[in-house]
Amino acid sequence: MNPSSSSLRRSRRLLSSALLLAGLAATQSTLAAGWSYLAPSDATATAKVVDAAAGDNWVLSSEGAALVLLRKAGAQSQAVATAAAGGRLVGLADGGVLLVETNNSRSVLRRFDNQGLLTWRRETVPVRLALADQAGAVWLEGDDYMLRLAADGSEAVRLQRAQYPLLARTIVDAIPPQLRYQRPQRAIDSASGDLLVAGNSAGSSESGDAQVALFDRSGTPKWTWSDTGRRLNLDMSAVASNARGVNCAAGRVRNGSQLLRFCFDAAGQPLWTHTLELGANASTPVIAVGSDGSLFAVDTQGGNASLSRIGSNGSELWRRPLTGNVFDACAGPATGCALRLDANNDASVVVSTSSGVSQRLRLVGISASGGPRFGQELPISALSTLNRAGDGRYLAVGSYDAGSSRLIALSASGQLLDDNVAVPAAVLPPVRAMAHSGDVTYVVAASDGAAQYRLSRIDADGSVRWSREFAGHIDLANASANAERVCVAETEALQGEPNNRVRCVSAADGSPLWLRSMDEPFAFRSRTPLPPSLFELRADNTLELAYVYRGVQLYDPSGNSIRLLSTDQRAPLGDMNASGDSVLLERPANAPAGSDAGTLKRVTVTGRLAYTLDLPSIGMQPDALVLADNDVLYVVGRNSTASNEVGVWMIDANGDVEWRRPLSNIVGEISVQLTDDSIVVQRRAALSSGTRQVHVDVLTRDNGNRRWRKVVNADAGAIDSATQRVLAFSSGQSRWSVRSLALASGAEVGNDTYFCPVQDCSLSAVGAGDGIARIAAGNGASAHSYLHNAAIRVDQPGIAGAWGALYGEGEGLLIDWLPQARLLYIPWFTYSLGGGNEPSQLRWYVAQAANVPADAREAALDIYSVSGGEFDSATPRQTTRVGRATLSFSDCANGSLDYTFETGLNSGASGNISLTRLSPDTEPCILASGQVQPASAARPAAKGFDARQSGSWYEPATGGQGLQMTVQPDGVFFAAWFTYDVAGAANDNEKQHWFTLYGNLAQAVNGRIELALVQTIGGSFDSTPTRNRYIVGGATLQMHGCDRATLSYRFDDTELAGPYARRNGELELIKEGGCAP
């Protein structure tokens, strides 16, 4: 059966791993004590449009120095990605978009599907022109070559100008280089993907012969026409084609007055030639081919333009003058916007006229018969983009006299509908602060410039108990909570006003308790308000605060000030202990930046001044401090503001320095916290290389001796006193990582990675308490337990199936337990460490543990690479041990793989993958307690399929490659096919390749099922997730029992299939381990 005509045809692309395995959604609810929260949009903003595609379904909006890609979703547009200032859009036939960001040295291309999901990304030399076909493939023009990318973004063909000189641009008019690329000397057959080009055999208009050539999608010239011997003496100016294979070109006679237009059929046979005498310096900069094969040509001469239609027999049907000259200076990577044809061959042309120092643009509509349809002056003098919406409207982006760009809309009949279309965009409020009490989390979120913020309570199961909006614009926030209430310090960074406020609300329902404005002394109103350096809600509902221009203060549960250590100076640091004694760092209000002047004073609860220390005299400049309940003060800082020498001081209750202990010379952002017997100092630093580090020093409180010190590559740190852990937080693509260190020794006792639900995972807030790590970025927040359950045994069929990381879409492991051999066998489909959007970056490994002991709670695995084979062949392979790993499971749905590769193999990569079950659980699972958990997805054998068929399959004749199957009768079928490159077409040293197969066993008949054969590229090893998966063929699986099967495969005849295209064959498979589960 031809898969292109089967049910597979309805979707040649798989959009999400949610389609991969039906068990995923059911499994997510079993994640250990974890949840994610997204703060809802709290406002809309009008986008500042700089480009648009597919009508206004896709919009690039300017936000400061960056651009934001917006996708229309109902009445609003939602942010999909950020882009560089040089970004432009190319609409795609499936409703997706190609975002092209170009600077002087390179272009970055990102392809988004019609749901706004990133499909692929790649970098190239600067892109001058992009032509997309109906299949989603795209031809790109650079300075030295034409590059064709397949729909999955992989490189399909590269045409070098050195090999094909006619690819050189020959437009020699005195026009900017950018405009030369708008003149359509290239065109694409949108149906076939063929590329039509015009140029010169010598690459220059000064010599050689004019040429027109058609290249197929594989880069092979289908035909070439040449003005041999310069018989016609032509300069080529434009080409165009239609979906029926009519290819046309236009040029002019050098130093003459004749314009020539000629068309060819799909085989390159001339159809007709048309000659026009128009006068000196005439040209035909733009042409288009109608659906009936007729040619529309815009001709210019002496600043005036005309549009003509030439019939399919080469006779001119009509010619209409255009008031002004043709305008084809649209910016961006698509061809010029001067001429557009509708399906019925109605034409629209953009013309320009001069009006004083300004340029005036008009959109002129002419019917297929040559009659006027409309002539509408545009309210812009510079046009960036012109496209058509699905309802027929014209949508243009441009500006007037170098002003701000805007989106304008015209009806299909050319009537101006809106000279500044508002594109409302949902504003997602970033998380400003978090607080927690026990397993309850509070999230403060506010948009920039919003007149309100949102405070939400999230319970342990991830449910939102309440969410309230409070009036007030905030730029910064602090939050603190206990069992009864939560308080927020609101900071509005606006000079001249008392913009610090404190609000406390009930933990039960968010109802207000009290609100106070933290008025600053009038003398400081010209300073930018700063957040408090101390903000802590006590268990008795009193609240400690320290503001830079107010000092240290204690509020009672009703919001009344009951204790104040005030100041008329600048007080960047302060603290108060449980007995009410306070310490305050004061600096002269008018001291210049970098001054060491300042004092440190402690005042008792009764108001008695215990001591005052002059900072320069003792050589101490505090960056952080904490006052213990016994009135001992611990300070972390430098010897002077100009010094990088960092240390810790202990100052007794009388103000005497008991000891000073040096730390490494890293300043950064410093925090200090006390435990029963230790001082924990954390310093965040960013190295010049871009690496972020957290430096952790743990000293004894009594004498300052170092217990341990560690430097962790991480973005932020926190301390969980309840569990005696130090946590280091990191962010990456689609992921957050948490490493936990034992407070007593510094030993690493946990390494977990979690899915990040927002686009930009850069951390904005972190916290830890009672064994729960809390993380925030963008408008998202998450909480996860980092204390693992007791491990379950690994020697059981209950762990078999497909596993992967929710943050690592596109790669995973398939676990098979073979009880007779007591063997864990785990094929691992992944990518090279560097990754990239090419099939050459596909990699696979096999991890296995032999002789697994009974009741083992973890497995020590060897990792092997099997390389050098050939697809569906018995060619000898080479097996090499490349690393080691440890596998364990906290329950039947969550596990962990710690891996380390050998030096020089996979670049010696090491790390941890947090595993989640992706396939349905079809076998019972033994818990740590010994209790047996039934398989929730178990189903009886049906239609020739049995869950016992899940596992490892191979063909004896072609050993060293095979399939790992997951079978759920009447449900999901998934398999990974581990194989090699086609003979003679190896694209990497290992010659490895893998595919996946998908099917619905509800459609099986007598052990026979039709499967989609899928290729997935674009990821990188345990780093970059990918959704770039396309169907490249189909397969039929015929089961002959529980341990015998035949797989008949057939690859499509498409460029996506690459060297596998048109290949078909059969694999006679047997199951490793036989019929036993």
pLDDT tens sequence across 515-559:
998 876 655 545 667 789 999 999 999 999 998 888 999 999 999
Of 82, 70, 81, nearest to 45 by C-alpha is 70
Tell me how far apart the alpha carbons of residues 611 and 977 are, in angstroms, rounded to a whole number: 75
CB 936 within 8 A of CB 26: yes
pLDDT tens digit string along 471-511? Answer: 988 989 999 999 999 999 998 877 666 578 999 999 999 99
Q: Which residue has the tokens 């549960």?
A: 557
Amino acid at 860: A
Residue 31 pLDDT more than 50?
Answer: no
pLDDT at 439 over 50: yes
Q: What is the model's pLDDT at position 495?
A: 64
**If you search the block for the tokens 């694209």, which residue do you land on?**
987
Q: How far is it, in rounded angstroms, from Cα 406 to Cα 408?
A: 6
With a cut of 70, say whether residue 780 has pLDDT above it: yes
What is the pLDDT, as a whole number, of residue 270? 95
Place of tokens 């651009």: 67
The whole-chain average pLDDT of the chain stands at 90
What is the reported pLDDT for 10?
A: 30
The secondary structure of residue 281, as a DSSP letter, is: T
Nearest partner of 487 among 508, 514, 518, judged by Cα: 514
Structure tokens at 409: 């809309």
Q: Give me the mean pLDDT over the 921-948 stretch.
A: 94
Average the pLDDT over 346-361 and give the result.
82
More confident position, 589 or 30: 589
∠ Cα 95 101 107 (to 5°): 115
Higher confidence at residue 960 or residue 696? 696
* Rounded distance between C-alpha atoms, residue 733 and residue 533, angstroms: 32
Q: What is the pLDDT of residue 600?
A: 97
pLDDT at 761 over 80: yes
Q: What strands lie across the sheet with 87-91, from one edge to the other?
A: 87-91, 97-102, 107-112, 118-124
Distance CA 348, CA 817 (A): 67
Q: Give the pLDDT confidence score for residue 498 in this predicted structure.
A: 58
7: pLDDT strictly greater than 60: no
Task: Give strand pairing partners of 592.
Answer: none
Cα angle, residue 156 at apex, residues 154 and 157 outer, rounded to 5°: 135
């898969």: which residue's tokens? 3
pLDDT digits (tens, 9 = 90+) for 123-143: 999 888 899 999 999 999 988
What local confidence, expressed as pLDDT, does residue 205 receive?
62
Instruction: Using the predicted structure, report yes or no on whether residue 30 has a pLDDT greater than 70.
Output: no
Contact assessment for residue 974 and residue 919, using Cβ atoms and an 8 Å cutoff = yes
The pLDDT of residue 363: 94
Scored b (16 or more CB within 10 A) or e, 19-57 reads: ebbbbbeebeeebbbbbbbebeebbebebbbbbbbbbbb
Query: In this predicted model, what pLDDT tens digit does every residue of 558-580 receive, in sequence order?
Result: 999 999 998 888 889 999 999 99
Residues above pLDDT 70, as percent of the chain: 92
For residue 527, the model assigns a pLDDT of 63
Please state the rounded mean pLDDT for residues 349-376.
88
Which range among 185-194, 718-727, 896-905, 1012-1021 shows the weakest confidence by mean pLDDT? 185-194
What are the domain boundaries of the chain?
3-25+790-1071
User: What pLDDT score was predicted for residue 179?
Assistant: 45
| 339 contacts 309 by C-beta, under 8 angstroms | no
Residue 821 CA to its chain's centroid (Å): 43
Kindly state the average pLDDT of the residues 674-690: 92
Asked if 444 and 454 touch (Cβ cutoff 8 Å), the reply is: yes
- pLDDT tens by residue, 703-745: 999 999 999 999 999 999 999 999 999 999 899 999 999 999 9
Please say if the pLDDT value at position 767 is more than 60.
yes
Average pLDDT over residues 70-86: 88
SS3 840: helix
State the CB neighbour count (10 A cutoff) for residue 595. Answer: 14
124 CB neighbour count, 10 Å cutoff: 17
Given this model, what pLDDT does residue 76 score?
86
Cα→Cα distances 686→356, 666, 713, 714, 780, Å: 55, 10, 10, 10, 24
- pLDDT, average across residues 850-868: 96
Q: φ, ψ for residue 167 (rounded to 5)?
A: -75, -15
pTM higher than the cut 0.75: yes
Mean pLDDT of 962-981: 97
Gap between the Cα atoms of 210 and 212, Å rounded: 7
If you average pLDDT over residues 642-656, what whole number do you get? 95
In this structure, are residues 954 and 1044 in contact, taking their beta carbons and an 8 Å threshold?
A: no
Which range among 409-413, 630-634, 728-732, 784-788 shows the weakest confidence by mean pLDDT?
Answer: 784-788
Band of pLDDT at residue 404, cut at 50, 70 and 90: confident
pLDDT band at 175 (very low <50, low <70, confident <90, very high): very low
Tell me what percent of the chain is helix, strand and coil, each rounded to the nearest 5: 5, 50, 45
Give, rounded to a whole angstrom, the gap between the first and last alpha carbons of the chain.
Answer: 33
Whether 902 shows a pLDDT value over 50: the answer reads: yes
Residue 230 backbone phi and psi in degrees, to 5? 55, 40
Whether pLDDT at 668 is above 90: no
Contact 13, 1061 (CB under 8 A): no
Give me the pLDDT at residue 335, please.
64
Region 645-662: mean pLDDT is 97
Lowest mean pLDDT among 202-206, 431-435, 980-984: 202-206
Dihedral class, residue 559 (left if φ above 0, else alpha if ψ from -120 to 50, else beta): left
Kind and range of the H or E run holding 28 = helix 23-28
The average pLDDT across 103-124 equals: 93
